[in-house]
Structure 1
Amino acid sequence: MRKKTLLIILPLLFAAILAADLVYLSSLISRRMEEGLLQIPSRVLGREIVVAPGTNVYSSFLFANLERAGYRETTRPRLPGHFAIEGEKITVIPRPDGTGPGAAVIELDDDGDVERIYRGREELPRLSLGRPEIGRLTDPRRQVRAYSPIDEISPHLVKAVIAAEDRRFYQHHGIDPRAIARALVKDVASMSFREGGSTITQQLARNFFLSFRKSLLRKFQEALIALLLEARFSKNKILELYLNQVYLGQRGSEGIYGVEEASRYYFGKSANALTLSEAILIASLIKSPNYYSPFTHPDRTLQRMRYVARAMEEEGYISRREAEEALRKFPTLNMRTERATRLDYVTDAIVMALEEKLEDRDILYGGYEIRTSLDPVLVDLLKETVPRTLSRIEKRYGLEKPLQAAVVMVDNETGETVAFWGGRSYRESQFNRAVAARRQVGSLFKPFVALAALKESKPGFETTLASVIPAKDVSWDTPDGKWVPRNFNGKVWEKATVREILEHSINTGIVALGKRTGLDKVITLCRSLGIGENLKPYPSLLIGSFTYTPLSMAYAYSTIASLGLKHRPRIVESVIRDGVEVVSFPDFPVRVLKPEVAYLVLYALQGAVREGTAKRLGKAFPENVAGKTGTTDDGRDSWFVAMTRDYTICAWVGYDDASPTPLTGATGALPLCEEVLKKVYRAKPPAPFPVPPGIVFRDVDEETGLLATSGCERVVREAFVAGTEPTAFCSLHPPSPLEETGRKLLDFLRDVF
């Protein structure tokens, strides 16, 4: 009787345990699927690669960006992502995210400027070539993967994986009894769990739902999960999940997961572009990626490739001739094995920008496509230039303590942040000085005072670049007593024009100009530029006593370079998932300055580069570059802003603890900007700044600010808003009646033509 009871109870108990286990495993599958079976690091994409007539392919680093975007140079482009260079022509087949379909031809002139773009008989006003990938936001497990739907994976690779790992994949229901029996015999013979015998479905179950510790219980649960997966999902979906999670190698501390990431790592291309030979190699790695690594053990790789090719041939996927052809030559490996993920100032800033919109976990693991305005080639340029330039400065001045720096680059036309770097080395310090360090700006503030004065200019109270401002014995009464500004090195100026004040960074002159204009007007102007929120009406603000970040200074100066159009500082443009825009950061440009007023300051700052405090830069760039130095007391902060028609570059150099340095803006931050400019404009010098309507030019005497005559020794070609130009001739060197008539006629003809 007792035996009978046990015979009844034990099966019921086993059934109950099995049912409970099935319920648990089913809920485990549901939970993991809801969380995201594949925690895919979000991809960070750079700015769109756009070519249009007038684009210089060298200054825009077109070829470097194409390489970053996965394009390959070939002799005859046949596939999307291929391009060829032949003389003055570039033939390119855009990727699916570019302007397609079909090959487009880009014609260049001798300087590398694009003359025309066409596809067949169609002229193209612009050509988009997609976005380069900057990197991935890595997860704590250091697993790197990119998800690809199965219809975007090479059929060669799908067939190679099935042949190598589970030939009966489409016949069984998650468990292959034949394979299990074969594995069991071998395991019993070896008294171990050496042989796998797992189907693709079982491998998927093991890798994502169970531990890697081998035991009979785990094998049993693995089989149950496999059956549940087969009941829930189609064969193609199971295969898709498997192909996107399978471990395929190691890059330093990062694991390479999924065939898409492996394709990019080993061959520098997407999984949909793999050749048969390349597909066989990747499928060969699944058994043991590090043992069969093509980088370290190519002989083992080739041995395994022969096995996979033979299996494909036996299954009828390829012919013997195709198998032999695939094995004839070892696939060419991508030797650029740098990390796909990034942990640096760029990704930190991106995460910070998204924190208010998305959960931290989603930002890292959500599989988002984060579209940014960044140019990865320019970012790398800054990353390399900053430590190298700082080392040279330290050596020149005998500095034992390492300097720090930050650089920001803004595209003046679009208002986009195209590059930045927040310190000497992210490994040594993760503090992002480009966006977070608030430092006194010193003389970098002076152009904003001049802008306010020029903006407030009125008939009868006109301020022009030629206006002469008293610059001696300047003081300001404050509640704490009389405040007396001093010039750098104690130099005394009797008087100076507004141009000279900016060119030579004259403290007494700018304070006198600010006093004449009014602190309230200066603060109002700064608020319109987005840098006035913390300003107080203290006279010391006129010489930069308040603090700003390099990013805010870059955008304030970019507003000048764009002739008064203010853009919103932004790095992230939008966030996409599954083709749907989840978050966007639109830019709404606002005109805050009249173009002609902004141009006056821009024009004067070109003089600062030619013959003022930034004349060191003028040796390399005598034309079409504007700049302003900034230095605070004891050299604690060295600033420089360089402006071209294309970019505004703001650099800061100093110590985090504000220790004194022997540096000025011209000897610290300026060399950093100079190095960047030399690389950007290595092939072609910067283009001239556009002159807006309403600007006229006159030759004036620098001492009086009046129209120059043949007797004037210091003559400058000055810009004026039409109607504010001087009409009287220099009182110190009066002209003859004939000269006066001739000069007026010449100015009239210049204005007209």
Structure 2
Amino acid sequence: MTSAKDRLAHLLHLPDKRSAQPTKEQKRAYIQELSQSPLSFKINVFFEAIKSIFLYGISIGLICMALAAGIGAGYFAALMKSEPIPSYQVLKQQLDNTDQAAGLYFAKNNKFGAIKTDLIRTPININEMSPYLKDAIVATEDEDFYKHDGVVPKALLRAVISDVTGFGSQTGGSTLTQQLIKMQVLTSQVTFKRKATEVLLALRVDKYFTKKEILQDYLNVATLGRNNKGQNIAGVQEAALGLFGKNAKDLSLAEAAYIAGLPQSPSVYTPYDQDGTLKDPEYLKYGLDRKNTVLFRMYRDDRITKAEYKAAKKVDLTKEFQPKADPAETTKSYGYVYNLLETQATDIMAKQLAKEANVSTAKLNKDPNLYKQYETQATELLSTKGYQIHSTIDQEIYDAMQGVVHQQGATFGRTYTDTVTDEETGLQKTVSSPVQNGSVLLDNRTGKVISFVGGRDFSLKQTNYMLTKRSPGSTIKPLLVYGPAIDQKLIGSKTMLADFKTNFKDYAPTDYGGTIQNKFIPADEALAQSLNIPTVNLYNALKNTTDPSKYMSKMGINLTADEYSQLGISLGGTSDGVSVLEQASAFSTFADQGEHTDAYVIEKITDPAGNAVYQHHAKKKRVFSKATSYIMNQMLAGVLTDGTATSIYDQLYFNTNNLVGKTGTSNDNRDIWFIGSTPGITLASWMGYDSTGRNLTDNSSQINERYWSKLANSVYQINPSLMRLEDDHEKPSTVTSSKVLKLTGQLPGTVSINGSSQNLNGSTVTSLYNNWTPKATSYEFGIGGSARNYETFWNHYLGYNNGYGSITYSTADELNPTSGYSSRRSGTAATTTNNYTANTTGTAATTGTTTGTNYTANTNPTDTETTN
């Protein structure tokens, strides 16, 4: 017979192998018997129940902990699955690397310098360090350094729980090994993946290297505040020299303890300000107190005796700190290249860091403060992680081009002397203002910048004129007007364009010198001679056919809708201008059969082990059809054979059969351009003064063409294969050739003139079209021109001597008879806006002071293109 206790245990499902499942009647009997049991029995049953619940709780807790550990391990494994496991050699190279500033390289792996940083370090062997230093660092930063395997397990568990639950800090306490990994290998981003990678690498480092080796590397790279020259220092040798004027091996106990206390907060504990002066006593006390904390920990760990501890605490280190000194001056070689690579590498890394944080490039570009945040991180990376920046610049060609600009610079024009205010001192000083030059050499197919000229003299002016925005002058004509017009089947190479006196409301363009040709001119001749009125007429018609801006944006030139709405844009009248690099890159599109590849100067960025953290990948965009590009190359060749750049041919050492180009000149010779392309390369040159109020001379185009020729010759002499001179422009099957009348640019036909039908025949020329054929000649056969202009043409055709084709000059009063203002250039056209004279005789007349490197320009100019 069972007791009430046994029956109750069975009822409550307590472990009892003797019991069987009770029936309902048994349960009622058990409960009745229980109600009659003594109090002590009821208490025993209560505690039995609590015990069971507690055991169940422990079991569930253990299961949950195991599950959490499994999830954490799985999460860790998932993160590390794609993480490459570095070899011993790779890790050794990274940990031993004390040249932490990013190295700068020309093409072909030719190193020329490193990113400037005031962080200096001098690595030494651990045997050259005071034993006090080693003991102080271990006692302060990682007391279990000689016991653990690179990480402390509880720190890893804490990081997992923190990341999964969202509570607590993700960083946790790091060992010396982890700190070394953080300084030498990883970024400072606080993410769980970075922490997990840090743990993985710390374990591997502890496996590969001895504790002595790890400690040596740490003591050589740890950042330790500033020295008495105001420079940021790293490594104990520089700290010993910069703070106490002695080598690390000669440090006293108190000095070693002071240095060992610096890594926790270098900016707070360092004794020096940014200029190298000693801090005020109230701020020095933080570092001195930290020194005493280090001494106590050394004493606590039995690394020093009590007597040594007390004696070192009494040492007055303020008497031992070095007095302020001036840092040695350093010179920067290849200044233009250095600045270009530093700027672009920082931008690349900032965008990569933002992308890793799921911040889009578009958002980054819209928020200057956000961009500044990632730019700062990128600067830190490039200054501290030993990256290598590999550029596309060919050192030999670059040196040759610098030699040409130095040799020819004196021929560019007059050098002025200006008085300016020194930004640092606020005092007046005199500076030279010579004619400046920006040039660039591009590979047409890849977009790589092979070489460039940033300016006349980096020591005189650090502005890179390859990147400054200036009026593009007539170099914009083939890109914005003629190329799109051919591509849209608006014209063929011999389509007639009107060159008569015209006035588009308040805009009245003329050709160079205020001239008007008073005739219809073939498109290829208008481009070769860089005539303005035909170009404006064509742009006016083109805008009614398509949006020309879409072509420009595909080639990397982005102007405003307001700029494109102005007819003067067809002659280069922009608000801010276009850089030499942008213009050359766009121009190279024709040489690459209508495809555009963005220009670039950084090939790749690698870590100290040679792994690419960034690799440039060229992307091509179809801008013009192959037929359009072929026709444009034929037309641009005419610029050199019969147009504004004929002087170039006699100055070149190489085969010019496949050379094409375009000149450009803005108002009053303020900007002078020549861009030339072979099938392999595009070379662009711009000349002008910094001051928007100064102009070049009328023969500056010839000066620039002579200079461009010398640049091209220097490139050819070093590497002729770059130019691909023997690669003919292959004629696509979509190019249509038609014999058109030389007079009308259309096929022979019948035209009614003054009521009489005329059968038109006569001399013909070959005109090229983008996969279409022209129609028979009609009365209004050209683009632009009024009814009166056509009447003049046809009467001249019938034999009347009516002045057709006679060049005339337009004056300001003729174009604007009520203006009451004279033009800036005698015999040229001018328009008046808001009671001031706006020059319309050239592209992009500057009307104000400069802001940075952008120039305000007239949006409705008349280009002052020279005709040789």
TM-score by length of 2: 0.46
Q: CA deviation at 1:132?
A: 3.0
Q: CA deviation at 1:361?
A: 3.3
**Residue 384 (structure 1) aligned with residue 403 (structure 2):** yes
Amino acid at match of 1:527: S
Q: CA deviation at 1:652?
A: 0.8
**Residue 667 (structure 1) aligned with residue 695 (structure 2):** no
Instruction: Verify the 8 A CA contact 2:494 2:523 in the aligned structure 1.
Output: yes
- Counterpart of 1:540 in 2: which secondary structure? helix
Instruction: Verify the 8 A CA contact 1:407 1:550 in the aligned structure 2.
Output: yes
Q: CA deviation at 1:405?
A: 0.8
CA distance in 2, matches of 1:361, 1:396: 40
CA distance in 1, matches of 2:741, 2:716: 34
Change (3 A) 1:667 1:173: closer
Task: Map 1:114-133; keep pairs closer than 5 Å.
Answer: 131-133=109-111
**Residue 540 (structure 1) aligned with residue 518 (structure 2):** no
CA distance in 2, matches of 1:624, 1:672: 20
**Residue 676 (structure 1) aligned with residue 711 (structure 2):** yes
Q: CA deviation at 1:216?
A: 9.8
CA distance in 2, matches of 1:444, 1:640: 8
**Residue of structure 2 in register with 1:687 after alignment:** 726
CA distance in 2, matches of 1:500, 1:217: 77
Query: Alpha-carbon deviations, 1:464-501, whole Å to 9, x = none?
Result: 01101111123312xxxx31101102332211111011
Q: How many residues align?
A: 451
**Pick from 595, 608, 611: which aligns with 1:580?**
611
Instruction: Verify the 8 A CA contact 1:529 1:592 in the aligned structure 2.
Output: yes
Q: CA deviation at 1:606?
A: 0.8
CA distance in 1, matches of 2:649, 2:776: 31
Instruction: Verify the 8 A CA contact 1:611 1:618 in the aligned structure 2.
Output: no
**Residue of structure 2 in register with 1:76 after alignment:** none
Instruction: Verify the 8 A CA contact 2:443 2:450 in the aligned structure 1.
Output: yes
Change (3 A) 1:693 1:367: same
Amino acid at match of 2:662: K
Amino acid at match of 1:431: T
CA distance in 1, matches of 2:715, 2:774: 36
Instruction: Verify the 8 A CA contact 1:412 1:648 in the aligned structure 2.
Output: yes
**Pick from 507, 510, 518: which aligns with 2:543?**
518
**Residue of structure 2 in register with 1:432 after alignment:** 464
CA distance in 1, matches of 2:237, 2:247: 16
Instruction: Verify the 8 A CA contact 1:554 1:648 in the aligned structure 2.
Output: yes
Q: CA deviation at 1:386?
A: 2.1
Task: Map 1:579-618; keep pairs closer than 5 Å.
Answer: 579-618=610-649
Q: CA deviation at 1:722?
A: 4.4
CA distance in 1, matches of 2:128, 2:463: 54
Query: Alpha-carbon deviations, 1:277-300, whole Å to 9, x = none?
Result: xxxxxxxxxxxxxxxxxxxxxxxx
**Residue 528 (structure 1) aligned with residue 554 (structure 2):** yes
**Residue of structure 2 in register with 1:308 after alignment:** none
CA distance in 2, matches of 1:473, 1:505: 17
Instruction: Verify the 8 A CA contact 2:484 2:624 in the aligned structure 1.
Output: no
Instruction: Verify the 8 A CA contact 1:642 1:650 in the aligned structure 2.
Output: yes
**Pick from 520, 530, 540: which aligns with 1:505?**
530
Change (3 A) 1:712 1:635: farther
CA distance in 1, matches of 2:494, 2:614: 49
Q: CA deviation at 1:425?
A: 0.9
Change (3 A) 1:424 1:511: same
CA distance in 2, matches of 1:707, 1:509: 21
Instruction: Verify the 8 A CA contact 2:129 2:249 in the aligned structure 1.
Output: no
**Pick from 434, 455, 468: which aligns with 2:487?**
455
CA distance in 2, matches of 1:216, 1:696: 81
Task: Map 1:111-150; keep pairs closer than 5 Å.
Answer: 131-140=109-118
CA distance in 2, matches of 1:567, 1:207: 49
**Residue of structure 1 in register with 2:680 after alignment:** 646
CA distance in 2, matches of 1:216, 1:597: 71
- Counterpart of 1:512 in 2: which secondary structure? helix
**Residue 564 (structure 1) aligned with residue 624 (structure 2):** no
Instruction: Verify the 8 A CA contact 2:445 2:597 in the aligned structure 1.
Output: no
Q: CA deviation at 1:723?
A: 3.9
Farther off after superposition, 515-524 or 414-423: 515-524
Instruction: Verify the 8 A CA contact 2:661 2:675 in the aligned structure 1.
Output: yes
**Pick from 439, 445, 459: which aligns with 1:407?**
439
How much is the aligned-residue C-alpha RMSD, in angstroms? 4.4
CA distance in 2, matches of 1:627, 1:502: 11
**Pick from 724, 732, 745: which aligns with 1:705?**
745
Instruction: Verify the 8 A CA contact 2:390 2:605 in the aligned structure 1.
Output: yes
Change (3 A) 1:138 1:714: farther
Change (3 A) 1:378 1:724: farther
Q: CA deviation at 1:383?
A: 1.9
Instruction: Verify the 8 A CA contact 2:555 2:598 in the aligned structure 1.
Output: no
Query: Alpha-carbon deviations, 1:110-169, whole Å to 9, x = none?
Result: xxxxxxxxxxxxxxxxxxxxx3334433434799x9x9xxxxxxxxxxxxxxxxx99xx9
- Counterpart of 1:681 in 2: which secondary structure? helix
Q: CA deviation at 1:574?
A: 1.9
Instruction: Verify the 8 A CA contact 2:591 2:633 in the aligned structure 1.
Output: yes
Change (3 A) 1:44 1:37: closer
**Pick from 89, 95, 98: which aligns with 1:38?**
98
**Residue of structure 1 in register with 2:511 after alignment:** 487
CA distance in 1, matches of 2:715, 2:521: 35
CA distance in 2, matches of 1:588, 1:438: 24
CA distance in 2, matches of 1:631, 1:714: 34
CA distance in 2, matches of 1:354, 1:214: 37
CA distance in 2, matches of 1:382, 1:217: 48
Change (3 A) 1:440 1:395: closer
CA distance in 1, matches of 2:461, 2:775: 54
CA distance in 1, matches of 2:129, 2:530: 77
Q: CA deviation at 1:445?
A: 1.2
Query: Alpha-carbon deviations, 1:8-44, whole Å to 9, x = none?
Result: xxxxxxxxxxxxxxxxxxxxxxxxx999972433222
CA distance in 1, matches of 2:552, 2:96: 47
Q: CA deviation at 1:419?
A: 1.4
Instruction: Verify the 8 A CA contact 1:406 1:422 in the aligned structure 2.
Output: yes
CA distance in 1, matches of 2:248, 2:464: 50
Gaps in structure 1 of 5+ consecutive residues: 1-32, 49-130, 148-164, 177-200, 230-338, 734-753
Change (3 A) 1:541 1:217: closer
Instruction: Verify the 8 A CA contact 2:413 2:696 in the aligned structure 1.
Output: no
Q: CA deviation at 1:352?
A: 1.3
- Counterpart of 1:434 in 2: which secondary structure? coil
Change (3 A) 1:209 1:173: closer
Amino acid at match of 2:565: P
**Residue of structure 2 in register with 1:441 after alignment:** 472
**Residue 467 (structure 1) aligned with residue 495 (structure 2):** yes
- Counterpart of 1:511 in 2: which secondary structure? helix
Amino acid at match of 2:481: V
**Residue of structure 1 in register with 2:662 after alignment:** 628
**Residue 345 (structure 1) aligned with residue 336 (structure 2):** yes
Q: CA deviation at 1:667?
A: 2.3
> What is the percentage of aligned positions where both structures have the same residue?
19
Instruction: Verify the 8 A CA contact 2:552 2:558 in the aligned structure 1.
Output: yes
CA distance in 2, matches of 1:532, 1:221: 64
CA distance in 2, matches of 1:222, 1:502: 81
Amino acid at match of 2:665: T
Q: Which has more radius of gyration? A: 2
TM-score by length of 1: 0.53
Q: CA deviation at 1:563?
A: 1.6
Amino acid at match of 1:705: G
Instruction: Verify the 8 A CA contact 1:408 1:417 in the aligned structure 2.
Output: yes
- Counterpart of 2:558 in 1: which secondary structure? coil
Instruction: Verify the 8 A CA contact 2:447 2:597 in the aligned structure 1.
Output: yes
Instruction: Verify the 8 A CA contact 1:485 1:508 in the aligned structure 2.
Output: yes
Q: CA deviation at 1:664?
A: 6.0
- Counterpart of 1:616 in 2: which secondary structure? helix
